[in-house]
Amino acid sequence: MKKRKKSKRKVEAAKTKPKFYKAIIKFCLIFLALLVVLTATFPFLSDKFNPQLTWLMVVTADITGFFLKLFGLTARVSGRIVTLPNFSVEVVGECTGLYEMLIFLAAMIAYPTGWKKKLIGAGLAIPFLYVINIIRMIFISMVANWSPRTFEFLHLYFWQVAMILIIVSTWILWIKKVVHYERKAVVVHR
Amino acid sequence: MKEKLWLFIAKFILISALLFVFWHLTGALERTGTSTPFGEPGWYLMFLNYVLSLLLIKLAGFNIQYFPAPKPVLLNLIPFVSLMIITRGIKLKIRVSRLTWGLLILIGWHLVMTMAVYLLHEGYHVPSQAYEKLSVPLYLFSGTLPFILWILFANKQVAGLFVRRKKIK
């Protein structure tokens, strides 16, 4: 019996292996193509939607300033600039979380699943990524206010790792909770 | 991915933090220490400069002293190494070989990027505004490269995310 089970497992594994290899290669190729298209068109789109992008930067600065005040810091916000006692920061395109959203959307579109799940994912992930980005902004501003010299280091280093961490974890979370979600049947024993 | 997501994230943060400390304390991008002037290139920048000077000065006859490196691009080594270390279920030998291949690809990318930045600035004298626009896609791609390499190199471990295995009774 055990041998039969083992051989069945081997057959199943041999069947799924080319399937997932193909799926992974296909995902990577589509993801890369989307990334190239999205990032290549981004500069033109950011020019075209400049007022909207500026509005997003101002809102990000306002929200960051609000939370910094909530945490007891004397923060002043003027347009895109957040001023703290020892440090001031200008909110630019990178600070809005837009790049993380673009990469996440590319990874989500490239993933082999239905459009309904992709739309649900986009609807949930975009606000989530924005909130995570605000947390990142608050953290960097607080540390930079405490030690202004660390800003460049933190901004440069933290951004790369935070970007990968945020994208990978949100993408896995979406697959596990939305794509692989199955309704559990409730069996009532009478 | 049999692991719980929160544990995966916690391990990723911890390993990345440790690698950060190592990267910074060894002065990879900028030399650290009280006697060294601020902004002096570290060992990794010197290494890139050495390889590029070998390739461009000796082979192609360029006359360059120092290549300005795009620092944000050079930091994608850390997330890649972290992801490869924390992913469960890869045999040590395979892990080391894939880690090496991945690092070689990323270092190759860094060399290409450093050369591209030099050519854009000094070779073609691209205006700073146009350079800013060009740099965004390149930086984004650099940031995403560790993620793509991880999916390719740890394909068996991430396979569960792509194909749901049926339970065999």
Enumerate the residues of chain A whose CB falls inside 8 A of the CB of residue B158. 24
Q: Which residues of A121-134 are buried (b: 16+ CB within 10 A; e: fewer)?
A: bbeebbebbbebbb
The DSSP symbol for B30 reads B
Pairing of strands A81-84, A76-78: antiparallel
Mutate: best of A164, A166, A169, partner B, most B CBs <10 A = A164
Dihedral sign for Cα B44, B49, B50, B51, please.
Answer: positive
**How sure is the predictor about B33, in pLDDT bands with cuts at 50, 70 and 90?**
low
Confidence of residue B62 (pLDDT cuts 50, 70, 90): low
**Phi, psi torsion values for A153, nearest 5 degrees:** -60, -50
- Stronger pLDDT, B123 or B13, i.e. the higher one: B13
Cα separation, A125 vs A86, in Å, equals 34
**Residue B168 in this model has a pLDDT that exceeds 50:** no
User: Alpha-carbon distance B56 to B116, whole Å?
Assistant: 12
pLDDT > 70 in chain A, percent: 83
Partners of A12 on chain B (C-beta within 8 Å) are 165-166, 168
Which residue of chain A is at minimal alpha-carbon distance from B23? A157
| Nearest CA among A66, A93, A92, A85 for reference residue A148 | A85
Query: Which of A16-30, A120-134, B116-130 shows the lowest per-residue confidence on average (mean pLDDT)?
Result: B116-130
B105 at interface of A, judged by CB pairs closer than 8 A: no
- For chain B, what are the domain ranges? 5-162
Q: Which of B46-50, B107-111, B138-142, B161-165 has maximum average pLDDT? A: B107-111
